[in-house]
Amino acid sequence: MDLLLIGGVSGSGKSVALGALEDSGYYAVNNLPLPLVSEIARYLAKAGRDRVAIALDVRTAPGLADLAATLAQLRAEGRNARFLYLDTKTETLVKRFSETRRRHPFSSDTRTLTEAIDYERALLADVRSLGFVFDTSELPARALRSWIKDFVSVDASKLTLQLESFGFKHGVPLDADLVFDVRCLPNPYYEPALAALTGRDEPVVQFLEKVPEVERMYADIYHFVASWLPDYARDNRNYLTVTIGCTGGRHRSVYLVERLGRAFSRRYQVLIRHRELG
């Protein structure tokens, strides 16, 4: 059984992720208490379900304190159990709850919305490192659905390298393992004919390939990541997220992520993300 557990802060898109997984052929279970996961997995296995996605309910198991033990038990029973953690910046969560007028699960007469978000984030702090982290702060729902479908399409038994471009003016991704700043490179945005294009368009590619500093930056990032990837793999890492940021996240970082993706895909599983391109 391919079993994917979904956790994270309320308002981060767990329902959207679960819907994307259901569209991808997973049997979806929403808001299941952690103590019932193993029992439900055994029941669904007997029923012939080989792909199952379960969104966990933190309210019934504060902090998901037994998640590590549950994952170990599931794997001992022969399940391919993974944990996906969705995270979002506090200011984004405040906006989402305010716009939808939904009540936060941990809101109360004595706890404001921001305090409720901070309280839940503290409860989940210890389990965040148990899985693969998605930062959904800047992602529209359609982009999250696409990213989730890409995520489950790779071989979970091998290390996957995720390369993500972003714009510093929108903040550093919360799911970054390594961050490279390429704002020192010449910016195609200031060329009138290139401003509306992206790093995937041929005129921008040609512009950047003529700049020696771009080639040097590419080589430095490639050799750094390539030299350390085997060590991350030996550390039993399933995913490594390498983020590359420029000012707006549409030209320089996109170009470098695309080029690095082509280079690393010859030896590794690679997922490419362009946060600011939606």
The number of CA neighbours under 13 Å toward the Cβ of 103 is 6
At 203, the pLDDT band (50, 70, 90 cuts) reads very high
The answer to whether residues 173 and 132 touch, using CB atoms and an 8 Å cutoff, is no
If you average pLDDT over every residue of the chain, what do you get?
Answer: 91
Q: For the chain, which domains are there?
A: 2-151 (3.40.50.300), 160-277 (no CATH)
- In the predicted model, is pLDDT for residue 61 greater than 80? no
- CA neighbor of 67 nearest in space, from 54, 78, 48: 54
**What count of residues does the chain have?**
278
pLDDT at 253: 98
Question: What is the C-alpha to C-alpha distance for residues 132 and 241, in angstroms, rounded to an integer?
Answer: 9
Q: What is the pTM of this model?
A: 0.77
Query: Mean pLDDT throughout 11-24?
Result: 92
3-state helix, strand, coil in the chain (%, to 5): 45, 20, 35
Contacts of 113 (CB under 8 A, 6+ apart): 94, 97, 98, 104, 107
- In the predicted model, is pLDDT for residue 213 greater than 90? yes
Q: For 175-201, what is each residue's pLDDT tens digit?
A: 899 999 999 999 999 999 999 999 999
